[in-house]
Amino acid sequence: MSLLPEQAFEPLRDRFAGDVVTPASASYEDARAVFNAMIDRRPAALAQCASPEDVVAALEFARRNALEIAVRGGGHSVAGKGVTDGGLVIDLRRMNSVSVDPDRKTARVGGGATMSHLDRATQPFGLATTGGRVSTTGVGGFTLGGGTGWLDRKFGLACDNLLSVDIITADGSRLVASETENSDLFWALHGGGGNFGVVTSLTLRLYPLASVTAALLLWPPERGPGIVRIFRDFIAGAPDDVGGGVIYLTGPEAEFVPEPLVGKLAFATLIVFAGGETEARQAIAPMLSLGHAGGMIAEMPYAEFQCMLDDPPGYRNYWSAQHLRSLPDEAVDLFCARAGDMIVPSASQHVLFPAGGQVSRSSADWPVPWRSAPWCAHPFGLWSNQGDDARGRKWAQSIVADLEPWSSGNVYLNFIGDEGTERVVSGFGEDHIQRLAKVKRAYDPQNVFHLNHNIPPA
């Protein structure tokens, strides 16, 4: 814990439009909680910023008092990078406004906005862009890390649609990064994460999207290997409008779930089509003809679909990922066999996501080398009991190890926690890491922003 007395924060409060929350504040326990319940850190204070001026004031206060800085947007980092023991959290959650320009098809998004804020602001205009796979993910961290989601085969990665960034650097400078301003920094923000400053707003490209159609199809788990093979071959020839993944999960209590699968391990395909149900049924007909045991197919607004898989905070989390250059039958069998090690019942998901489409077709040289991998295995562990921690970690780590022979050698860093320096380098790419380190040196030479998948200054 910080040794600063309560009165030491008064100068910050005096110039602050938002709130400065300390251990003496009634809201402190709620304010410091993040998505992963395993993370239990106690900052000296949380600067709940209401404006860029608040961010500048918080940075100055932390610098003057030698406080470690964490930056919180959505708070979804599995390693809890958005909170620090004894330091200052720059909490952006109040800066969550979204302004849509329907003529230019752009959205200006506050640094603390979540996917829900973005999707519900764009929905009335029939517009959308690639977002995360749940509505509670922070737009900032998601986009700066590259950003893969249900619509990426259609619209590309989130960072592909990043047009400009308002950012405050460690010395309090307020900069704009775009193709024409601070272009070196703009390049680094396409995958380089929160290494370079506090992003107070982002401008994103939008696309027409009236609705999506979701098809969640369920089978007993033993059908998994065969269905994965069929899905693998289906998605290879599917149009960019089709996305989704294959998932082992605990069968939920819902009308469309057969009673024998409720509360038990089940296998599912979740197919997302960027368009109406009639066209979707035609595009995914091969998957609909396999005799699923249960399921649903429905057309809905994209913002509503984004909420379907939301998990409430409070679970204990552990995630990892392995990006694959190919998915032969042997890899399918190993992936499916590991589903038996997943904690059931729980909110955990044993997922295999396809890429392709605009993700792999883009020639952009951003530091997101994992985009070329056609598949990503993503053990996404969420459970309630502390006694399951070791089992949950082992399950996730075993999947990654099993699939190592087919690894592409790169990884989407938003999907993993603290897994060592080699994994961080693999996330940015050997070809990019030196250039990123030079940008880091230019904008954060003291590595003030180091609570992230860190890029040390060159």
Same structural domain, 365 and 411: yes
Same structural domain, 117 and 226: no
Burial of residue 66 (CB within 10 Å: 0-12, 13-18, 19+) is exposed
Same structural domain, 268 and 172: no
Tokens of 105: 């098809």
Within a domain: 437: no
Same structural domain, 60 and 134: no
pTM: 0.96
What is the pLDDT, as a whole number, of residue 312? 77
Give the whole-angstrom CA distance, residue 235 versus residue 253: 29
**Domain C-terminal end among 73, 91, 109:** 91
Same structural domain, 77 and 19: yes
Distance of CA 339 to the CA centre of its chain: 22
* Host domain of residue 24: 6-91
Contact between residue 288 and residue 215 where contact means Cβ atoms under 8 Å apart:
yes
What is the pLDDT, as a whole number, of residue 199? 98
Within a domain: 320: yes
Q: What is the 3-state secondary structure (H, E, C) of the chain?
A: CCCCCHHHHHHHHHCCCCEEECCCCCCHHHHHCCCCCCCCCCCCEEEECCCHHHHHHHHHHHHHCCCCEEEECCCCCCCCCCCCCCCEEEECCCCCCEEEECCCCEEEEECCCEHHHHHHHHHHHCEECCCCCCCCCEHHHHHHCCCCCCCHHHHCCHHHHEEEEEEECCCCCEEEEECCCCHHHHHHCCCCCCCCCEEEEEEEECEECCCEEEEEEEECHHHHHHHHHHHHHHHHCCCCCEEEEEEEEEECCCCCCCHHHECCEEEEEEEEECCCHHHHHHHCHHHHCCCCCEEEEEEECHHHHHCCCCCCCCCEEEECCEEECCCCHHHHHHHHHHHHHCCCCCCCEEEEEECCCHHHHCCCCCCCHHHHCCEEEEEEEEECCHHHHHHHHHHHHHHHHHCHHHECCCCCHHHCCCCCHHHHHHHHCCCCHHHHHHHHHHHCCCCCCCCCCCCCCC
Same structural domain, 306 and 202: no
Tokens of 139: 């737009």
Same structural domain, 15 and 113: no
What is the pLDDT, as a whole number, of residue 308? 87
Give the whole-angstrom CA distance, residue 262 versus residue 253: 6
Within a domain: 160: yes
Mean pLDDT, consecutive 10-residue stretches, the chain (458 aa), reads 82 96 97 96 98 98 97 96 97 98 98 98 98 95 98 98 98 98 98 98 98 98 98 98 98 96 98 98 98 97 92 91 98 98 97 97 94 98 97 98 98 97 97 97 98 96
Start-to-end Cα distance in the chain: 31
Please name the residue that has the structure tokens 């679970």: 315
Half-sphere exposure of 382 (CA within 13 A, CB side): 19
What are the two backbone dihedrals, phi and then psi, of residue 385, each rounded to the nearest 5 degrees?
A: -95, 130
Same structural domain, 241 and 201: no
Number of domains forming the structure of the chain: 3
Within a domain: 304: yes
| Other Cβ atoms closer than 10 A to 4 | 16
Contact between residue 268 and residue 349 where contact means Cβ atoms under 8 Å apart:
no
Contact between residue 400 and residue 408 where contact means Cβ atoms under 8 Å apart:
no
What is the pLDDT, as a whole number, of residue 392? 98
Distance of CA 171 to the CA centre of its chain: 28
What is the pLDDT, as a whole number, of residue 310? 87
Same structural domain, 65 and 119: no
* CATH code where residue 24 lies: 3.30.43.10
Same structural domain, 107 and 236: no
